[in-house]
Structure 1
Amino acid sequence: MGIETAMIAFSKLNLSNKIRDDDFINVMNHVITPGLLLLAATGTYLTQWLGEPIHCWTPAEYKEEKNFQNYVDSFCWITEMYNVPMDTELPKLKEDRGENLVGFYRWVSVLLLLQALMFKLPNVLWMSWKGVSGMDPDRIIKMAEEGDMEEQEQADDDDDERMEDTAKMEIMQNGTKDDKKKDDQKKKDSKMESLAGFIDRRLKLTGRRRKLNSCSRLNKSSGSFLTDFYLIVKLLYPAIIILQFVILSKFLNINFFNYGIDIATRQTDWSFWGDEDVFPRIAMCDLNIRQLQNVQTFTVQCVLAMNMFIEKIYVLQWVWLYFLLAISIIGTIQSFLDRLKSSKRHEFIKKFLTIGLDIDYFWPPRKPKNQSKSDKNSKRPKEIFQYLSAKEKDRIRTLIKRDSFQRMFVTDYLQADGIFILKCIHRNTSNMAVIDIIFRLLEHFLVEKRLVNIYVDEDDYYAK
């Protein structure tokens, strides 16, 4: 019941999350691998309790007694047996029979379950601590997804409108749909502006704390807490894989690091694939039977059919662990290089800024309709940029294109955590959503650094 309860509890864990704040290599470690191990654990567990994992030969005088047969099978299953090759004489002394003990098969399903939990631990650590910095990726991604979904729903409405059967229906519904589009656009702008404002406040708060304190990299005010903590979590995955090799070596009493290679080099007949030294199909079992005042000792021979299944599990696991170790090390090295090279962060932002400058929706900000002239005195970045003169907008466009300005935007404002959040948004939403957020943050940054002239020329404004 213990293993069954543990499996039910493990199956209720959130093995997969719709929101992705990590890369596919991490997903392979904490989602795919635990799933495969859980599947193998379930298979071995069902084989033990629903099948016949062991069947022992009984002496002739007890052959017709079914109860005795069941007793022998049950006793030998819970007792450590020993492996003696058929071409080797059976040791007479009990001490000599304990050299090649076999008993691991009873705990295979438990170990597989523990292995799955070990692979899940780094992700549990990440989920528990990633919100400490104040910029919880899950919350931010959900807000970005909501804004992006508004945009996609509006595009779907446009497609539906083009598919109307008659012009009459279009005329009748045109006013209603136009109003709906405006409402949807307002909702989207409101959500994206709220998201940009939230990120801006967190970035500014982190920047002020960093100036006041000499922060370590793992301090939540360092501006790189999320990024560095993410690297630590990525580093845990290769470490756990190596630990798995060590545990399996102890559990199977072999050098599991070389297990697959040893199998391949020793295999002479590939029509029969097996390693009977590690996973014996036949093992010996000693049991004592009390008969009145006498205790009679029997040595029986037992067939461990499930060892064929267990052997295949560990061969496949050896291949999978080495594959997982290779890609995890490569992914971790790549992440460390990206963290050390500020040019990578600059290239990420430059790509989206370049695209956004060519799209009228993002730049220059459009002037609002039906608003009074006094709105130009608002201190909100969006309103400030909507009322800029054409000359000032051109100047800012030129400024945004400069590499030196982009580097300052990345280094002084976004920092490592800001880039990390934007990459998470990019994984879960569209390019347009990322560009929208970047330009809204850019407006906050320009106003904060006083790089924009908020005093516009009235003639220039009304001439538009």
Structure 2
Amino acid sequence: KDKPDAEKGVDFVKRTLKTYIDTQNTLHGSVCCGVRCRNFYVSYTLTYFIVKILYTINTLAQFFLLNSFLSFHFTGYGVEALSKLFSGDDWFESPRFPRVTMCDFMIRHLGSNQHWYAIQCNLPINIYNDKIFLGVWLWLIILTILNILSIIGWVISLSSGRRISATKRYLNSNQSLSPERETLLSTTSKSPKYDRDIDATGFTEYMHLDGFLIFDIIAKNTDEIIAGQIIEHLYRNYEPPTRNYTSNV
């Protein structure tokens, strides 16, 4: 019972993605901020990267918020703690979270006499605070690095050369299927062998950045078989334009 549902889902994705790409090409643009912009085919791509940049800004802003909250330079706290750890010093004794300090308190006697005393206090809670905020620092550093690497990776994957090579790879992915596997996937006809003569350049221009971004996200969250079926459906129904349209992709 799961198989027909999976096939219906793949067919729905095929139709929906093709409808979106055809609509973009028919209207010569996409919607940005509620306004249809002619020759603008990167609305989803722009939104996607803005969200990724906001993720990075969020992690960086956490450092400045913690600087203000803790009233010390939290940005360099992890570097200081790790340098002590690797140099063999006692990194457990942190000046940022002291375990022993001087506490001032007042004792009121009869009348208006007030006496202030300064005594040594133990702060065992700082044993945990020290480790907790070091973990927070490491986690924010890891998130920042991963966000930056993710942005760089997506920029590279959406370059013209990468899009063309990915298109060829996914179009040829179905060729490795055995006849039994093709039967299970309900492939009605054997797909043609695509080689270097494929019009990959024209096809990627037909998909534009938005169409390829949506497809690439689907491909990264499924497998090459399903991705190959989707891209093959788009390519089989792709009609090269009879005239050239100006595009910013």
TM-score using structure 1 length = 0.43
Q: Which residue of 2 aligns with 1:407?
A: 201
C-alpha distance in 2 between matches for 1:443 and 1:253: 62
| C-alpha contact 1:283 1:302 (8 A) present in aligned 2 | yes
Q: Which residue of 1 aligns with 2:155?
A: 336
Q: State the one-letter code of the partner of 1:428.
A: N
C-alpha distance in 1 between matches for 2:236 and 2:145: 43
Which sits farther off after the overlay, 328-337 or 294-303?
294-303
1:237 partnered with 2:68? no
Q: Which residue of 1 aligns with 2:19?
A: 201
2:132 aligns to what SS in structure 1?
A: helix
Q: Which residue of 2 aligns with 1:171?
A: none
Equivalent residues, number: 232
1:8-59 per-position Cα deviation (integer Å, ceiling 9, x unaligned): xxxxxxxxxxxxxxxxxxxxxxxxxxxxxxxxxxxxxxxxxxxxxxxxxxxx
1:445 aligns to what SS in structure 2?
A: coil
1:275-329 per-position Cα deviation (integer Å, ceiling 9, x unaligned): 1x32121233334444453242343443211111001112233333333333332
Name which of 225, 237, 240 aligns with 1:444: 237
C-alpha distance in 1 between matches for 2:11 and 2:237: 11
Choose between structure 1 and 2: higher helix proportion. Answer: 1
Name which of 290, 307, 319 aligns with 2:126: 307
| C-alpha contact 1:281 1:303 (8 A) present in aligned 2 | yes
Change (3 A) 1:295 1:348: farther
| C-alpha contact 1:217 1:228 (8 A) present in aligned 2 | no
Q: Which residue of 2 aligns with 1:253?
A: 71
What fraction of aligned residue pairs are identical, expressed as a percent? 23
C-alpha distance in 1 between matches for 2:200 and 2:24: 20
TM-score using structure 2 length = 0.74
**TM alignment of 1:53-452, pairs within 5 A:** 149-150=2-3, 184=4, 190-210=8-28, 222-263=40-81, 270=89, 273-275=92-94, 277-299=95-117, 300-339=119-158, 341-357=159-175, 359=177, 361=182, 366=188, 397=192, 400-403=194-197, 405-412=199-206, 414-446=207-239
1:377-432 per-position Cα deviation (integer Å, ceiling 9, x unaligned): xxxxxxxxx9xxxxxx9xxx47x5355612211111x2222222222222332322
Q: Which residue of 2 aligns with 1:59?
A: none
1:197-253 per-position Cα deviation (integer Å, ceiling 9, x unaligned): 222111111222335x8x769977633222222212222233222222222222333
1:294 aligns to what SS in structure 2?
A: coil
Q: State the one-letter code of the partner of 1:410.
A: T
1:356 aligns to what SS in structure 2?
A: helix
1:401 aligns to what SS in structure 2?
A: coil
Q: State the one-letter code of the partner of 1:325.
A: T
Change (3 A) 1:408 1:217: farther
Change (3 A) 1:245 1:191: closer
Q: State the one-letter code of the partner of 1:316.
A: G
C-alpha distance in 1 between matches for 2:198 and 2:171: 14
Change (3 A) 1:258 1:219: farther
Q: State the one-letter code of the partner of 1:255.
A: H
Q: State the one-letter code of the partner of 2:134.
A: V
| C-alpha contact 2:84 2:90 (8 A) present in aligned 1 | no
Using CA pairs under 8 Å that are at least 6 residues apart, name the structure with larger relative contact order, 1 or 2.
2
Q: Which entry has the higher C-alpha Rg, 1 or 2?
A: 1
| C-alpha contact 2:81 2:91 (8 A) present in aligned 1 | no
What RMSD over aligned residues (CA atoms) do the two structures have, in Å?
Answer: 3.6
2:28 aligns to what SS in structure 1?
A: helix
C-alpha distance in 1 between matches for 2:47 and 2:212: 14
Any gaps of 5 or more consecutive residues in structure 1?
A: 1-145, 151-183, 368-385, 387-392, 451-464
Which sits farther off after the overlay, 285-294 or 215-224?
215-224
**TM alignment of 1:2-41, pairs within 5 A:** none
1:162-192 per-position Cα deviation (integer Å, ceiling 9, x unaligned): xxxxxxxxxxxxxxxxxxxxxx4xx665543
